[in-house]
Amino acid sequence: MSDVPDLQKLRVSIEKVDEDLLDALRRRMDLAEDIARAKLAAASPIRDQRREDLLLQRIRAAAMARKLDPHEVERLYRFIMEMSVARQHALVTSLPTTPLRVAYPGVEGSYSHQMAHKRYAGRPGGVLLSGFDTPREVVDALRRGEVDLALLPIENTTAGAMYETYDALAEEGVTIIAEMVDQVQHRLLGLPGAKLESIQSVRSHPQALMQCEAFLREKLPWARLLPELDTGGAAQRVREGNDPTVAAIASESAGQRFGLEVLARELQGAKGDFTRFLEVAREASPLPADVRCKTSLMMVLENRPGTLGKALLVLAERGVNLARLESRPLPGTPWAYRFFLDLEGHAASAPIEAVLRDLQPYTTSMRLLGTYPCVELPPG
């Protein structure tokens, strides 16, 4: 009978292990809060799917090494990770200085995410970034009050306008408060060991594919071009697909993030390739009187011959410079269009007030999209 385990002692030992597990879990939650603070300071999203996938991969291997069921251990860790994310969000909402909530289209490593990091990292109080699939989803989150600001790419010096952003800005309830310009440096990214001559398909955002058209035509004329929602997502798809014949056009930081190698650099057909971004809010921001401004306007013209010409003549007569003009189809009305204009000057200035008044007879609808400081192209 002396060889029979003492049940009570075993239960006491298990209770001690349970206490150790709970202490370890508490330390993990404390670390999760520290990570949340670091992410807010660095303008990084709270949720990092790539990091979570790598963690689960490591946990499965560690479980097998300890002769534990890797599937059950993974299930347990998914719960723990959800607890950590919930703890981080709880910390964010409890801070005395509320972090700025910013939405952008794409995933970490996309050009929009890079621009958000450049603009907001180091902000007192921190920044909580959220990536969405499309510009419309970003604007919808802003209109619902889920975020404080939206950062949207609007045009590129090589590929031109980004029409998804124009269509999203047509929705009421948001206003442009700033613009930024950033240089784009595309890389062709592939799996480790992949060769340029073996690439059969290239994934990227349609704009990036357009910007790299000359390179693709010269170096990979046989490659199939696969449009993606954003460049960072294209890099992620290549990593997840694990096919050495598939590459992505994205930033070098996206390649580093998803474990891809650079197969080619300098993909753009023109030197000095820049993308312009807009910062959008629910309310306008006051501007100093001496700041050089730009005013964005959307209008739908009367369907009469020569109306567009007469509208443009109004600008010339009032001495207002038209910096940009884009047209987009008017939903639900075939062969009708709404026009987006960037005018140099403040909406409250006498020349632009006169323009807005003089345009009224030629329009069926007109809306100011915002007045904001002008930004010049950086040297390069």
Per-residue model confidence as pLDDT tens for the chain (380 residues): 567 788 888 888 999 999 999 999 999 989 988 988 888 777 777 777 777 888 899 999 999 999 999 999 998 998 898 888 878 877 766 676 678 889 999 888 888 998 998 888 888 778 888 999 999 999 999 999 889 899 999 998 888 889 999 999 998 889 999 999 998 889 999 999 999 999 999 999 898 998 899 999 999 999 999 999 889 889 999 999 999 999 999 998 889 889 999 999 888 765 668 899 999 998 888 777 678 999 999 999 998 888 999 999 999 999 999 999 999 999 888 888 999 999 999 998 899 999 999 999 999 999 999 999 998 766 55
> What pLDDT is stored for residue 342 in this prediction?
96
The domain made up of 187-264 is a member of CATH 3.40.190.10: yes
Q: Are 374 and 278 in contact (CB under 8 A)?
A: no
Which CATH number does the domain 7-94 belong to among 1.10.240.10, 1.20.59.10, 3.40.50.1970, 3.40.50.720?
A: 1.20.59.10
> What pLDDT is stored for residue 121 in this prediction?
85
Which helix (H) or strand (E) segment is 131 a member of? strand 127-132
Opening angle at CA 285, ends 284 and 291, nearest 5:
125
Q: Are 129 and 102 in contact (CB under 8 A)?
A: yes
> What pLDDT is stored for residue 220 in this prediction?
94
Among 139, 163, 167, 159, smallest CA distance to 151 is for 139
**Domain spanning 287-373: which superfamily?**
ACT domain (3.30.70.260)
- Residue boundaries of the structural domains of the chain: 7-94, 100-173, 187-264, 287-373
Tell me which amino acid residue 137 is: E
SS3 of residue 302 by DSSP: coil
For 16, 28, 245, the CA distances from 21, given in Å and listed in that order, are 9, 10, 45
Distance of alpha carbon 37 from alpha carbon 51, whole angstroms: 17
pTM: 0.75
Fold match flag (100-173 vs 187-264): yes
Among 24, 32, 26, smallest CA distance to 48 is for 32
Facing residues of 105 across strands? 132
How, if at all, do strands 337-344 and 293-301 pair?
A: antiparallel
> What pLDDT is stored for residue 354 in this prediction?
94
> What pLDDT is stored for residue 378 in this prediction?
63
> What pLDDT is stored for residue 379 in this prediction?
56
> What pLDDT is stored for residue 377 in this prediction?
65
Distance of alpha carbon 279 from alpha carbon 149, whole angstroms: 7
Active-site residues, by number, are 275, 277
Tell me which amino acid residue 264 is: A
For 15, 108, 181, 376, the CA distances from 380, given in Å and listed in that order, are 65, 25, 12, 12
Question: What CATH number does the domain located at 100-173 have?
Answer: 3.40.190.10
> What pLDDT is stored for residue 93 in this prediction?
60
